[in-house]
Amino acid sequence: MDLEVNSFIPLYQQLYDNIRKKIAAGIYKPGDKLPSEGDLCKE
């Protein structure tokens, strides 16, 4: 997951947008558990 620390977009918004894109792409399906914070950091 590519988050830009120096971006004008807050990190929480970048994370939200990234998760929404993965849901829209079918990577996360209805009923799936989202990755933990630690797993998201590893991406």
Whole-number pLDDT of residue 12: 92
Three-state SS for 40?
helix
| Euclidean distance between CA atoms 37 and 8, whole angstroms | 22
**Helices first, then strands: H and E counts in the chain:** 2, 0
User: Which residues of the chain fall below pLDDT 70?
Assistant: none
Is 0.85 surpassed by the pTM of this model? no
Please provide the average confidence, as pLDDT, over all residues in the chain. Answer: 90
